[in-house]
Amino acid sequence: MVSIVNIPVPSNYLIGELFEHYSFIVPLYQRNYDWDDPQIEDFLDDLSEIFQGHRDSHFFGQIVAYQRDDNRQEIIDGQQRLTTSLLFLACLKDNAEKLYTSKFGNNQQQVDPKLGTSLKLISTNVDGIIRGDEEYGDAAMVVGQSSSDNELDRCFFDITHGNNISTISKNMPKPIKKMERAYDSMHKWVRKYIQEETTLTDQITVLKSIYRSFVKKFYIVMISTSSLTDAFTIFETLNSRGKSLEPSDIIKNQLFSVLDKNIRDANKQWKNISSTFSSDSKEITKFIRAYWAAKERKVSESKLYRSISQKIKTPDQAETFLRELNELVMLYQVLQSPSSQKRNRQVFTNRSIIQIIDILDKMNVKLYYPIAMAVYHQQFDENDMLLVLHKILSVYVRHRVINKETTNTLETGFSDIARKIWSMDLGTTDKIIDALNSNLLQSNDSIEASFSVLEKHGGQKGAKKWTLLYLISKLYESEYGDFKEQGAYFEVFHDEDFRLIHINSSEELGEHLDRIGNWTILEKGLADKLENDEMSLIIALSNSELNGNRSLISSLESGTWNEDAIDKRQAHFKEGIAEIW
């Protein structure tokens, strides 16, 4: 006889409703609490989008459970979400109680008592959710029993009941450490929004809004079976079958569902986009993400579909979306592959634009794509595009190459400026450059201080090699007048005629070995003949056509190329970097 899985009808529940209908227990075989900072950050990002009005609701995932004889739900899948939900509710309750204590604890009569009632109501509502059905005790059992003395359960009980939790220490078991860190991160997140408001009324309004955003706009799909075997079968099928769709695949389905009958032309446009990327869904996703960052806002690939589906709800919106993608797809290809001469000529006639794009590409810089797409969409002329690209290159070199800052600030900043270009809030080149200068350009003092001790490891290929080649060639062009005939681009980047060379390659230099002051670039023919001795380098430098190389000879001949000489050369370069970038 064939055994058929009995699949119950899934039910949708808002977080606020879920614990009213079910009491949960986590069996011993379940893993302990395991969410780290990235998962908590994603959770708070999702909540922030609801709280700030970017979306109306959020699907928090599914729960698969087995209904036991005592009517409690034994969790098969979804423990991490449920535990996090209760931890977050606990931090809302604690914030409400701390706010109440600070404002009403001393019976301050000047404070409106109705506000105190609002805070107490938040605390009471959360309490009702956290503590569950009294039939099963006063703590919802949503954390697995990790040890014989139930240490993890005690930690969870303390957090959800407002007891003092211990300071996180290295000796804590990992699940407890993760649980307390999760609670701490969420508590600080809520506190930050409260402290941004100056009046008690506004602080309570923010807290109530966060509470409602979570309990009334986060929903979960609940699948509860009467058979433990069926529950495991459903869990396995949901989590391990098939290949995950790329965001671009889901976005396509969304567009076509919105267009309904008007899909013939849309299908043609999508095919054009798809064929441009050789039907590579991952590359199509990257393209759509850059476009969305230019027009709407920067989102991660994992949240791209959700963000787009909130905005594209009518046939006209879907048609505009596809039309704009098609208008930009050729530009995007140039940004990605500037070496294709035929494609370049179809997009730009000014070869200086291609040169900057090629330099950025070789340095593996992609963060600026939204700005380039916005400028192109608004049909700025090529001279304007060139000026904007020059400024983007300066911003990147100062921020990332010299100051070694993270790219997140640049990616967000470029996207914010791109949106303003797209909406024409920044409608002229001067306004765009002013925005880049004021929001993203690192100060002269900052880059000069960083450049004093700047090290670069170079390499024979990849972005590290090209970044250092770019730095040295621009310094030589500015300080010594090199590359005047064709410019550094054609000899260094296009023809690849130069190699990176340590002036002194002794390991005894320590950190000075890779200082900018100890690097030069040498023609390939001369570099190929170099031997591992100082005289060989002197001969090569004397035969070089670069003034920057010949300036090194006297110091090498006198045998004084040491840490002090490197520092002196680097200090000399430092004086001109604010003008170059």
Same domain, 479 and 570: yes
Task: Calculate the average pLDDT of the chain.
Answer: 87
Same domain, 202 and 283: no
Is 433 domain-assigned?
yes
Which of 482, 475, 463 is CA-nearest to residue 516?
475
State which of 240, 258, 280 marks the end of a domain.
Answer: 240
Same domain, 200 and 343: no
Is the pLDDT at 116 greater than 90? The verdict is no
pLDDT band at 377 (very low <50, low <70, confident <90, very high): very high
Is 5 domain-assigned?
no
Is the pLDDT at 281 greater than 80? The verdict is yes
Total count of domains within the chain: 3
Q: How many CA atoms lie within 13 A of 454 on its CB side?
A: 31
The DSSP 8-state label assigned to residue 232 in this structure reads H
The β-bridge partners of 12 are 221
State which of 413, 448, 483 marks the end of a domain.
Answer: 448
Q: How far apart are the first and last CA of the chain?
A: 77
**Of the segments 33-37, 310-314, 341-345, 439-443, which one has the largest average pLDDT value?**
439-443
Q: Determine whether 567 is exposed, middle or buried from the number of CB atoms within 10 Å of its CB (0-12, 13-18, 19+).
A: middle
The answer to whether the beta carbons of residues 382 and 348 sit under 8 Å apart is yes
Same domain, 296 and 368: yes
Q: Determine whether 185 is exposed, middle or buried from the number of CB atoms within 10 Å of its CB (0-12, 13-18, 19+).
A: middle
Tens of pLDDT, residues 392-407: 999 999 999 999 999 9
Provide the 3-class DSSP secondary structure of residue 322. Answer: helix
Q: Which two tokens stand for residue 1?
A: 């006889």
pLDDT band at 146 (very low <50, low <70, confident <90, very high): very low
Same domain, 99 and 230: yes
Is 529 domain-assigned?
yes
Same domain, 39 and 159: yes
Poorest-pLDDT segment among 222-226, 338-342, 438-442: 338-342
Same domain, 224 and 110: yes
Poorest-pLDDT segment among 240-254, 313-327, 548-562: 240-254
Is the pLDDT at 453 greater than 90? The verdict is yes
pLDDT band at 440 (very low <50, low <70, confident <90, very high): very high
Same domain, 214 and 98: yes
Is 3 domain-assigned?
no
The answer to whether the beta carbons of residues 395 and 440 sit under 8 Å apart is yes
Q: Which residues are CB-neighbours of 438 under 8 A, at least 6 positions away?
A: none
Q: What is the pLDDT of residue 140?
A: 43
Is the pLDDT at 236 greater than 90? The verdict is no
Which of 87, 89, 235, 65 is CA-nearest to residue 175?
87
Q: Which residue segment(s) compose the domain that 418 sits in?
A: 250-448
Is 287 domain-assigned?
yes
Is the pLDDT at 350 greater than 50? The verdict is yes
- Mean pLDDT along residues 443-472: 93
Which of 193, 230, 185, 239 is CA-nearest to residue 213?
193
Same domain, 191 and 125: yes
Q: What is the pLDDT of residue 445?
A: 96
The answer to whether the beta carbons of residues 476 and 483 sit under 8 Å apart is yes
- Mean pLDDT along residues 198-226: 93
Q: What is the pLDDT of residue 407?
A: 92
- Phi, psi for 24 (deg, rounded to 5): -115, 155
Q: What is the pLDDT of residue 299?
A: 93
Portion of the chain with pLDDT greater than 90, in percent: 56
Same domain, 39 and 132: yes
Is 380 domain-assigned?
yes
Is 245 domain-assigned?
no
State which of 448, 482, 501 marks the end of a domain.
Answer: 448
Which of 418, 440, 429 is CA-nearest to residue 296?
418
Buried (b) or exposed (e) across 43-75, using 16+ Cβ within 10 A? Answer: bbebbebbbeeebeebebebbbbbbeeeebbbb
For the residues of 23-65, what is the DSSP string, one character each?
-EE--TTS------HHHHHHHHHHHHHHHTTS-S-EEEEEEEE
Distance CA 139, CA 157 (A): 7
Same domain, 461 and 433: no
Is 6 domain-assigned?
no
Is the pLDDT at 340 greater than 70? The verdict is yes
Same domain, 201 and 260: no
Unique residue bearing structure tokens 């690192």: 442
Distance CA 485, CA 481 (A): 10
The structure's pTM equals 0.72
